[in-house]
Amino acid sequence: MPVKEKVGIVISNKMQKTIVVKVENRYSHPIYLKTIVKTKKYLVHDETSKCNIGDLVLVQECRPLSRRKHWILVKVISKSSLN
């Protein structure tokens, strides 16, 4: 089975070694043809705590690390311009 990877934006880094990443899924409605944006939040393991809010990151699915944390940080694609 292939490993799932997603690209998202960091929306919180308040926890130790954990970040919250928002992933957007855009698709067209089958009847009305309007673009629909669905967002989902994932808890991601960040071992070195190097991510800040607004960073664009690549995350990968892994074994369960805690009750809600099943993703690990692969790399930071771009740093936020806010800092």
**Residue 2's pLDDT band (cuts 50, 70, 90):** confident
The amino acid present at 11, given as its one-letter code, is: I
DSSP string, 16-81: TTEEEEEEEEEEE-TTT--EEEEEEEEEEE-TT----TT-EEEEEE-S--SSSEEEEEEEEEE--S
Q: What is the pLDDT confidence band of residue 83, given thresholds at 50, 70 and 90?
A: low
Show the tokens assigned to 4: 């799932």
Whole-model pTM: value is 0.89
Give CA–CA dist 60/51, Å, rounded.
15
Q: Which amino acid is at 56?
A: L
pLDDT digit string, tens, across residues 3-20? 999 999 999 999 999 999
